Every structure is written in C-alpha cells, then in structure tokens.
Amino acid sequence: MASDSPQYHEQTQISPNGGDYADFTYIPAEGIPGTFKPERDLTFALTLIESGVLSRKQIAQAVKDWTIHGDLTLYDHLNRKGLLPDTDHTSLEETADSKLQKVLEKLDDVDSNISSIRESIVQQLDQYGRVATVLGLSANDLASTQFQRRVSEAGFQLLRKIGQGGLGVVWLARDEKLKRIVAIKEILRESASQSPEVKRFQREAEITGRLEHPSIVPLYQFGLDEQTDQPFYVMRYIGKKTLEDAIDEFHERRQNGEENSLQMHNLLNAFVSVCQAIAYAHSRNIIHRDLKPENVALDNYGQVIVLDWGLAKLTGEYEIIESCELGLSGNGTGIEQTQDGQILGTPMFMAPEQASGRIDEIDERTDVYGLGAVLYAILTGCAPHEKSQESMTASSQVSELLRKIVSEPTVRARSLNSNVPRELEAIAAKALSLKPYARYQTALQLAGDVKAGWLTNRSRPTKSLGRKEPLAGSETTNSSRAVSAHY
C-alpha cells in the first residue's frame, strides 16, 4: 500500500474470487474497468482506527489538505505528516489488503455496473459511512428504484441518501403535495412486522413525534410501504451542519491563532438551547441517552435541533405503561426491554452508569452528564473520554475505556486548552461528576450557570460552584468581556 511498493501503483486486472488483490484496478466479469484506490484508502483508514493507531477525529484533521481522489495514497499522506512513526506498516497494510480482498470475493452477486460495485464495496467496508464521509468518499447517493416507487406512492420523491445509522437510513426527499424538501428515514433492512428492529424503529418515531419543541426535530408522517410493509417516517430537513462541525471549525481556527470570542459565544448559546430541549424532554418523561455534538444539528438561521432519539428511555408513567403493554403482548423485545448489564450509547460521551450497564440508575442526571460532555467538547475540541482511548492498546481498548469511564474523573478541560475560563471548566467538571448526586440535578440548572455567567451581563455563576458572588460593577459582570479575554 505504501509508495515504495511498486505493486501498489500497477494497474492490473484482478478477479473477485482471487488474484493479486494488492493491485487496485478491478475488472468485473463483464469487463467493465474501474479503479479502486479510494476504496483502498478507506480500507487503510478503517484498519488504523480498528487497530487503535489513529482515531476517526485524528484522521479527519489529517486529511484536510489531502483528497482521496488524487494520486497520493492515504498511507503516504499520513506518513509524510509523521503520524505513523512507530507503527508496524507491513502488518497494517496486510490487514487492510486482507479486509478488502474479503469484500472483493463477495462481488459475484453485484450487478455489473461500476457504480453499484463501488457502492457495495463502500457499504460493506463502512456500513454507516462515518469514515467514508471523513475521507470525502460517499456510497451511491441515489436511492434504489424500489424505494423511489414506494415513496412516490406516499407523495414523496426521493433525491439522495444523506445519512445512515445502526437502525435506519435517511434520505433527502421532496414532498410533492406541499412542494417542500423533507428528510425520510426508513428501516435499514427488510424485517418482519413484529421483529425487534421494526419495533425499535416505530418506538423511535413515536417518541420523536411526542416531543413538540422548537429545538427537537418535528415529525410529519409515519407510514408503511404497501408492498413490503416496511416502515418509514418523514421529518423536517435540517441540513448537514452539526454542532460537531462547528466545534471542529472553532478549534481548528483557534489552533491556527484565529481567536474568535463571538464564535465561542455562539457555541455556548447553542449549548444552552440543547439544555432547554433536553429539559423539555425530561418534563415529558423521556431521557435521550446518546447526547453528543454529532446529534445536534445547526440550520442556516441559528436554530439548534436535537436529533436521534433512537436510544431514548421512558420514565415515570410512560415507562410503566410501556412495561404493561409489553407484558400483555408477550412480545417485549428490542431496546425497550434493555436489561441490566447491557451498554447503550456512545462511549466517548457516555456516563458512568451507562458504561457499567446499571440501567436502573439511568435518569435525567445521565443526560446532564451527556450535556456536560458536549460542553467539554465545546471547550476543548475533544470528547471527555477521547484522550483515555488514545492511550490504550487496541486489544484492551473497549473494556479498559469502560473501566476508566466508571472509575476515573475526566481530564480537566484546561489541561487540554489553557484558554478555557476556570469558571466554565468548573461547570463542565460538575456536570461530569462520576456520581449522579454530585452533578447538576437538572438540565436547566446547568444551562442557568452557563447562561448567567457567560451569555448575559450578569455576574458569573457562583452558588452551585461554591464561590462568593463578585462585587457589583466589577469587570466579571460583563460576560462578553470575560469570554473575549480567554477566546
């Protein structure tokens, strides 16, 4: 895979069922040529991540001045940047080549169309497209004919795929009746109507539809394909920009010496909006359980939208009602039947009670931890548990990371970014306390400290942080000046 390996740059013909897979030009059975350097770069990136050599975020930062469609391989680019100094290069290349060869061996059943072949390769390598997107490589953006027929019957025209997760795929579509652009989410694969996947999908739609708040994505319609009985739902199309994108941009500018207090002010404003949306969800007996910057969308007009309620947990009367319904039906399977010992969520932003599998201990304060993790990312550019993961070996990464989440406090924000105001560091640390009772008890309390201290012309938060109020008229009463001094 490296440039000093002549076979990497040769373009030979290989068969899906054998041949020299180290060469990257593939001729399918019917003789349609196609170059697969981008797919090889994707395979190498996935190998780096799976081996614990680099994280997805580190790769994303490294490829900002590189294109997957050029002649320079990802290996060469990363090597020139000095990001692979102590790595066993040969072993990584062999692992990546083996992974790609296994995918090529499965291509016999793929239509002899170069776009469908490449789509199949990307989807098999990177099912959710997270790494492919970072590298600038997308699978086929067009929907299948079958899906186009189904949504047209429901009054929608499918345009292109815009996202994919563990449960469903999201498409950009046009509402033919109201002449507007919408997003449509369908279940990822065909499933029986009573399968756990369909139940989870319908539950996600019901929970999202129950939440009517300006900062929670609105649901327009839930339906079934008349031919296949596969569910889908229609929601507002927000756009592609997320809070994660805004955070990355801010910290990239900061590292390049472009301090911007207004940009930080906007990020904190967005954070307060997220807190308010989560507080509303809590008032409706719903806990999100997967809060992270990636699940917060930012539209072009400053509106903040919390997405992806697929892991949400019901509390109070809703939890009792759901348990009774499941007990009566005898079909309690899927996420709503989560048992102690099961771990749900994103480890980089996960609360200790989630990492330990103590499901009964998950409550509103679990989301407070998630909000603290989002604030931490805003302040440092890193997830709370990201540095812990980077220091681990691949073999022990998951188990060791979960142990650290449960037993060790997060690294202080100022140790990663010395410009972080101490008060904001203290707010994030309180929200990220290992013990739920030591955190803010509500999302609104957390939002209140951030808002009072940094987004209004009032004094900085002190009561919940255990410090005295500043004197009236002191410079700490001007939040904009305080933030500007640090950013």
Which residue of the set 225, 290, 308, 367 is catalytic?
290
Bridge-based pairing of strands 313-314 and 286-287 is antiparallel
H/E segment holding residue 405: helix 397-407
Pair 357, 342: CB distance under 8 Å: yes
**Cα torsion 380, 386, 388, 394: sign:** negative
Active site residue 71: no
Q: How far apart are CA 323 and CA 339, in angstroms?
A: 13
Q: How far apart are CA 41 and CA 75, in angstroms?
A: 8
Phi, psi values for residue 213, rounded to 5°? -145, 145
The residues, any chain, with a CB within 8 Å of residue 17's CB and separated by 6 or more, are: 105, 108
H/E segment holding residue 406: helix 397-407
What 8-state DSSP symbol labels residue 460?
P
Residue 132 one-letter amino acid: A
What 8-state DSSP symbol labels residue 167?
S
What letters, b where the CB count within 10 A reaches 16 and e where it falls short, cover 76-103? bbbbeeebbeeeeeeebbebbbebbbeb
What 8-state DSSP symbol labels residue 144?
P
Q: How far apart are CA 245 and CA 70, in angstroms?
A: 24
What 8-state DSSP symbol labels residue 470?
P
Q: How far apart are CA 460 and CA 223, in angstroms?
A: 49
DSSP per residue over 217-253, as a string? Answer: PPEEEEEE-TTT--EEEEEE---S-BHHHHHHHHHHH
Q: How far apart are CA 191 and CA 334, in angstroms?
A: 13
SS3 of residue 10 by DSSP: coil
What are the beta bridge partners of residue 234?
184, 221
The CB-side HSE value for 272 (13 A sphere, CA atoms) comes to 17
What are the beta bridge partners of residue 224?
231
Q: Which sequence positions are flagged as catalytic?
A: 290
